[in-house]
Amino acid sequence: MCGLLGLVCASENDAVKARDAVGRALRCQRHRGPDETDTWADGEVVYGFNRLAFIDLERSHQPLTWGPPEAPTRYTLNFNGEIYNYRELREELAREHGATFATEGDGEAIVAAYHYLGPDAVRRLRGMFAFLIWDAERRVVFGARDPFGIKPLFYAQGPGGIAFSSEKKSLLELSDVLGVPQELDRTALQHYLVLQYVPEPATLHADVRRIESGTSFTVAPGGQLSTERYFVPEFAARPVPDAAGAEALHREIADVLRDSVAKHMVSDPDITVGAFLSGGIDSTAIAALAKERNPNLITFTTGFEREGYSEVDVAAESAEAIGVEHVVRTVSVEEMMEALPLIVWYLDDPVADPALVPLWFIAREARKRVKAVLSGEGSDELFGGYTIYREPLSLAPFEKVPGSVRRLLGKVSTRIPEGTRGKDLLRRGALPLEERYYGNARIFRDDQLRGVLRTFTEGVGHRDVTDRWYRESVGWDPVARMQHVDLFTWLRGDILVKADKMTMANSLELRVPFLDPEVFRVASRIPLEQKITKETTKYALRRALDGIVPAHVLNRRKLGFPVPIRLWLRDEMYDWARGIIADSKTDELLDKKAVRALLDEHRAGTLDHSRRLWALLVFMIWHGIFVEHRITPEVPEPQYPVHV
């Protein structure tokens, strides 16, 4: 787990000019790899690297050069991530192709696989990754990002060349070298205020983009980027199994998860791997399976001193049942407010998910004890865990109503006052799936956004983001279609961004065993009836984990790390929020009078605007940091040991 930076310049002269800027850009992501920093150059190509070392600590330095015996320095790798099947891959390449290796790490496995297998090698990698391989013979860079988008990879291209980085802020340091302006993407802002995150491949800077998940690419000096999707997931459910078939399915799920957790615990013997533990089934399952491999496992959780907004007690009960050492970090509202500007700086782009704040605090606490943690991200998308996935069952009666009547019901819903019970059910029941579902977070509706966003553009909406994924899932059952949309929107836009950014901010590696190609292979074939029932979600997973997770967790609804912003914005955070609004120089973009009105209406208890307010406040802080340069968080220098 590290931070990479790579420039493919238009000319060698541009590369020479870039080298000083590379040093500044690397300092922006020092937190991603405090163990080692190095740079490398070859003609038009310049690499920079910050290493957080886990495997082969003494030899697998980066940038890493490898080649076959006849050309031992042909390739140079810049790689962020972990390859969990690298040992098997190295053995296969040595056996079948005569590959030789100078280290014991996973980096050489990537380069050797590319040399012997070509671009298809990326399909053989089981892990999380973003990498660049410079081929000095062909004078071209080949790169890829992992199938689910666990590891980030930003890029910016201008007259001076193209640059790639694990952090967007590093690319902003290179904007003069590349000849790229730092202009705000107003369409991306509109999407953010609807979705809670900026959807891939966009960022809030118009000229900085993201390599999408499951995508490989090539680029030559002075050339254009060429991309190809190598991972096209398909939820191809099998027929509903009989009792024996269901039992076999549940065993297969348990077996593949056990194998994935075991592989995700790979590290140097000196490195300690822990686990995050909330009160839900996903993190508890990962911790229980990890305990099978490491009897000395340490788990970590966080909460608040607010009744109903903490899973600390449930997590502690789970830790005791599993038999692991458990660490709790309680976060105060004052700490939330103080830390938020620094957290937004680490984020690169705003993500209006309050849960990322306690995640930052617990990652900070965990890094005192371990260097990597396992976590349960991805389970809901693969196994059908979100409560909203049950919506097709509740809306089934609407499917029997003629279209004209459904449209009439939709019009009726608009006349019902906001906050009235049943209004949203009626509105959503009148809409087809493609119109009503665009992920777990729905912050502003268009009618609400028009009154706040001065740059609101008619015709820009969630279907700009989701239609491509719905087109890929025509003919699937509605829950599978929702899962598919979430894989490419909510998961990689919110869940994995906050997971990567908040842990790496603390030089802590987070590993997600659910997001494994082999786990997906099994999960993608689960029939609808084994995912969602009228009583529960993730039915097959729950049955598979019976006997692995404690009974008090098996059928419990997951809360994650709930944050009481609804209450705090009415009380402790009210003056703080008014101060952010008053100081923000976003008048050209937002109607600040309307924003203050939302805050006052929320305080009065008329309506719950907490999520909309949080999205606006996080954006205002982001704007103060990256556009106005008025807010300058004090970024601590990483001071963590190489071994813990």
pLDDT tens profile 558-577:
555 678 999 999 999 999 99
CA pair distance 66, 113, nearest whole angstrom: 11
Residue 100 has pLDDT above 80, yes or no: yes
Q: What pLDDT, in 10s, does the model give residues 300-340?
A: 999 887 766 667 888 899 999 999 999 999 999 999 999 99
Contacts of 6 (CB under 8 A, 6+ apart): 45, 46, 47, 48, 78, 132, 141, 143, 163, 164, 165
DSSP collapsed to 3 states, 318-361? HHHHHCCEEEEEECCHHHHHHHHHHHHHHHCCCCCCCCHHHHHH
Q: Which domains does the chain have, with CATH numbers?
A: 2-229 (3.60.20.10), 565-626 (no CATH)
> Hunting for tokens 């704007």 — which residue is that?
623
Among the listed residues 292, 256, 267, 257, the one whose alpha carbon sits nearest the alpha carbon of residue 86: 267
Residue 618 has pLDDT above 90, yes or no: yes
CA pair distance 66, 77, nearest whole angstrom: 8
> Which tokens is 468 given?
């491509």
Omega before residue 633 within 30° of 0, cis: no
Handedness of CA 470, 473, 475, 476 (dihedral sign): negative
Among the listed residues 235, 242, 532, the one whose alpha carbon sits nearest the alpha carbon of residue 396: 532
Provide the total of helices (H) and of strands (E) in the chain, helices listed first.
29, 17
Residue 642 has pLDDT above 50, yes or no: no
Q: What is the pLDDT of residue 555?
A: 80
Q: What is the pLDDT of residue 393?
A: 85
Q: How long, in residues, is the chain? A: 644
Contact 203, 168 (CB under 8 A): yes
Largest CA distance in the chain: 76
Residue 150 has pLDDT above 50, yes or no: yes
CA pair distance 438, 597, nearest whole angstrom: 27
Centre a 10 Å sphere on the Cβ of residue 441 and count the other Cβ atoms it contains. Answer: 18
Q: What is the dihedral of CA 445, 451, 453, 455, to 10 degrees?
A: 110
Q: What is the pLDDT of residue 561?
A: 63
Residues placed in the known binding site for L-glutamine: 106
CA pair distance 273, 270, nearest whole angstrom: 10
Among the listed residues 250, 245, 279, the one whose alpha carbon sits nearest the alpha carbon of residue 543: 250
CA pair distance 277, 373, nearest whole angstrom: 10
Give the pLDDT mean for 89-107: 94
Residue 521 has pLDDT above 50, yes or no: yes
Q: What is the pLDDT of residue 397?
A: 73
Say which amino acid occupies 522.
V
CA pair distance 190, 193, nearest whole angstrom: 5
CA pair distance 134, 146, nearest whole angstrom: 18
> Which tokens is 51 given?
């290493």
Q: What pLDDT, in 10s, does the model give residues 37-79?
A: 889 999 999 999 887 767 656 666 779 999 999 999 999 999 9
| Higher-confidence position of 10 and 135 | 135
Residues placed in the known binding site for ATP: 375-376
3-state secondary structure of 112: helix
Q: What is the pLDDT of residue 399?
A: 73
Q: What is the pLDDT of residue 640?
A: 63
Q: What pLDDT, in 10s, does the model give residues 258-286?
A: 999 999 998 766 678 899 998 889 999 99
Least confident window among 241-245, 571-575, 577-581: 241-245
Give the pLDDT mean for 392-419: 74
Give the pLDDT mean for 438-453: 92
> Hunting for tokens 């963590």 — which residue is that?
640
Residue 9 known to be catalytic: no
3-state secondary structure of 40: strand
CA pair distance 245, 119, nearest whole angstrom: 37
Residue 547 has pLDDT above 70, yes or no: yes
Phi and psi angles of residue 330, each rounded to the nearest 5 degrees, phi first: -90, 135
